[in-house]
Amino acid sequence: MPHRHCRDVPVLAVAPAGPEGLANGLWRLELENPGFTGVKPGQFAMLRPPAWGFDPLWARPLSISRALDDRIVFHFLVAGRGTAAFTRLAPGEPVTVWGPLGQGFAVEPGAPTLLVGGGIGIAPFVEYAATHPTPGKLALLFGHRPPRSCYPYDELGAMIAVESFQDKTPEDIPRFVELLEKRIAEHAGGLVLACGPTPLLRSVKNLADKHGVRAQVSLENRMACGVGACLGCVAENPEGHRVQTCVKGPVFWADKVTL
Amino acid sequence: MDLRVDLGGLTLKNPVMTASGTFGYGLEFAPYGDLRSLGGIVVKGLSLKPREGNPVPRLAETPSGMLNAIGLQNCGAERFLKSMLPGLPWRETPVVANLYACDTLEFAELAGLLASAEGVAALEVNISCPNVQAGGVLFGQDPALAARVTEAVKARAGSKPVMVKLSPNVTDIVAVAKAVEGAGADAISLINTLTGMAVDVRTRKPRLANVVGGLSGPAIKPVALRCVWQVSRAVSIPVVGMGGISSATDALEFILVGAGAVQVGTANFLRPDFSFRLAEELPLAAQALGITDLSTFRGSLAVG
Q: Which CATH number is B154's domain given? A: 3.20.20.70
What digits encode the pLDDT tens for the residues A66-85?
Answer: 999 999 999 999 999 999 99
What digits encode the pLDDT tens for the residues B107-150?
Answer: 999 999 999 999 999 999 999 766 565 656 678 899 999 999 99
Q: Is the pLDDT of residue B257 over 90?
A: yes
Q: What is the pLDDT of residue B137?
A: 67
- How much of chain A exceeds pLDDT 70, in percent? 99
Quick one: average pLDDT of A191-204?
97
β-pair type (B199-200, B162-165): unpaired
Quick one: average pLDDT of B92-107?
95
Q: Is B97 within the bounds of a domain?
A: yes
Q: Is B31 within the bounds of a domain?
A: yes
Query: What is the pTM (predicted TM-score) of this model?
Result: 0.96
Buried b (16+ CB within 10 A) or exposed e, B6-27: ebbebebbbbbbbbbbbbbbbb
What string of DSSP letters covers A59-126?
-EEEE-SEE-SSEEEEEEE--SHHHHHHTT--TT-EEEEEEEESB-----TTS-EEEEEEGGGGTHHH
pLDDT greater at residue A4 or residue A221? A221
Closest CA to A192 of A76, A83, A114: A114
Q: What is the pLDDT of residue A4?
A: 78
Contacts of A241 in chain B (CB under 8 A): 52
**C-alpha distances in angstroms, B51 versus A130, B55, B125, B165, B179?**
42, 12, 17, 20, 29
Q: Is B263 within the bounds of a domain?
A: yes
Contact present, B186 and B164 (Cβ < 8 Å): no
Q: Is the pLDDT of residue B182 over 70?
A: yes
Angle B139-B142-B148 (CA atoms, 0-180°, nearest 5)? 60
- B150: helix, strand or coil: helix
Across the interface, whether the CB atoms of B218 and A2 are under 8 A apart is answered no
What digits encode the pLDDT tens for the residues B36-77?
Answer: 999 999 999 999 999 999 999 999 999 999 999 999 999 999
Across the interface, whether the CB atoms of A58 and B272 are under 8 A apart is answered no
Q: What is the pLDDT of residue B85?
A: 98
Q: Is the pLDDT of residue A185 over 60?
A: yes
ipTM score assigned to the predicted complex: 0.94
Say which of B75, B102, B129, B227 is annotated catalytic: B129
So where are chain A's domains? 5-100, 113-218
Across the interface, whether the CB atoms of A54 and B268 are under 8 A apart is answered no
The helix or strand, by DSSP H or E, that contains position A35, with its residue range, turns out to be: none
* Residue of B73, B219, B269 with shortest CB distance to A58: B269
Asked if A225 reaches chain B (Cβ–Cβ under 8 Å), the answer is yes
Pick among A3, A227, A245 to test the B interface (most B CBs inside 10 A): A227
Q: Is B28 within the bounds of a domain?
A: yes
Closest CA to A71 of A33, A26, A34, A43: A33
Across the interface, whether the CB atoms of B59 and A222 are under 8 A apart is answered yes
A99/chain B closest Cα distance in angstroms: 10
**C-alpha distances in angstroms, A47 versus A10, A44, A228, B4, B94?**
12, 10, 16, 35, 31
For chain B, give the mean pLDDT.
Answer: 96
Q: What is the pLDDT of residue A247?
A: 96
Contacts of B44 in chain A (CB under 8 A): 229
Contact present, B101 and B124 (Cβ < 8 Å): no
Across the interface, whether the CB atoms of B29 and A227 are under 8 A apart is answered yes
Q: How confident is the model at residue A117 (pLDDT cuts 50, 70, 90)?
A: very high
Nearest chain A alpha carbon to B246: A54
Across the interface, whether the CB atoms of B70 and A230 are under 8 A apart is answered yes
Q: Which domain holds residue B120?
A: 5-53+72-193+217-297
Q: What's A5-100's CATH class?
A: mainly beta
Q: Is B180 within the bounds of a domain?
A: yes
Q: Does the annotation mark B102 as catalytic?
A: no
Q: Is B208 within the bounds of a domain?
A: no
**Residue A148 φ then ψ, to 5°:** -55, -30
Contacts of A224 in chain B (CB under 8 A): 59, 66, 68, 269
Q: Is B210 within the bounds of a domain?
A: no
Q: Is B86 within the bounds of a domain?
A: yes
For chain A, give the mean pLDDT.
Answer: 96
Contact present, A114 and A192 (Cβ < 8 Å): yes
- B231: helix, strand or coil: helix
Asked if A232 reaches chain B (Cβ–Cβ under 8 Å), the answer is yes
Number of domains in chain B: 1
Asked if the A113-218 domain carries CATH number 3.40.50.80, the reply is yes
d(CA A126, CA B92): 44
* Residue of A6, A234, A240 with shortest CB distance to B32: A6
Q: What is the pLDDT of residue A116?
A: 98
